[in-house]
Amino acid sequence: MTGGNASAALEAQLEDLRATHGDAVSIREIGGVVENLLAATKGDLMAADITLYSEMESLARYIHAAKAEIAALCPDEVKAEYLPTAADELDAIIAATADATHTIMDAAEKLDGVIETLDGNAQETVMTATTQIYEACGFQDVTGQRIGKVIKALKDIEIKVDALVAAFGEEIAEFKAKEQPGNTGEDRSQSDEDLLEGPQLEGKGRTQAEIDALLDDFD
């Protein structure tokens, strides 16, 4: 029974009751009217509910899929492994270029130190060359500042990833439990690609002497 039809039928029923009994209507007949009214209202509410439930179900499915996709990205690994590694690598670049710059300047200062002992033309040539070396060494300051900005950006990303990990901790754990070696049947042996992680940071790799010793052990 649709809303319009129900209303007309109820109206007719009430009119009929009024015409037949005036104001004295039996309880049984009132019950019949109420029953009809409930049946009509229930039908309308159910239609609205079905639409709402269906929308909510589709939204829930969407959220669930999005959560699973975010969990599959393993943001905890990004935070624990990739971000600190990237920042360490950048710090290592700053340190290595600073070392190289100082070595270059040590050499240029030695040349500067003997300028007084040279004749006119030679003195001019060496002076020009050392000036150019000092100027070029300025790259370390500028690149250092640029790398510093990248490190700051990584730290900002880390904060956002932290929030993701906090929000999706449960889903991530669930995803990882499913992806455990042995659960997926995936081959976890080390590939050639896995071996390529160099250059190692200070203290993380072997020294030349240690490598020599290691090689000797094979003989």
Partner 1 sequence: MAVDKNMNILIVDDYKTMLRILRNLLRQLGFSNIEDATDGGMALQKLRGAEIGLVISDWNMEPMTGIELLREVRGDDKLKHLPFIMITAESKTENVVAAKEAGVSNYIVKPFNAETLKAKIASVLGDF
Question: Which residues make up the interface to partner 1 (CB under 8 A)?
Answer: 98, 101-102, 105, 108-109, 112, 127, 130-131, 134-135, 137-142, 144-145
The smaller minimum CB distance to partner 1, of residues 28 and 149, is found at 149
140 DSSP 8-state letter:
H
* C-alpha span between 204 and 94 (Å, rounded): 17
Closest CA to 7 of 32, 42, 35, 41: 41
Minimal distance, residue 137 CB to partner 1, in Å: 5
d(C-alpha 143, C-alpha 160), whole Å:
26
Residue placing its CB nearer to partner 1 in the complex, 2 or 145? 145
Shortest Å, Cβ 105 to partner 1: 6
C-beta of 33 vs 105, nearer to partner 1: 105
CB of 102 to partner 1, least distance (A): 7
Rounded to whole angstroms, the Cα distance separating 86 from 114 reads 43
Quote the strand ranges of the chain, DSSP E: none
Considering the complex, what minimum distance in angstroms separates the CB of residue 106 from partner 1? 10
Q: Which residue has the tokens 């030695």?
A: 110
CB-wise, 40 or 94, nearer to partner 1? 94
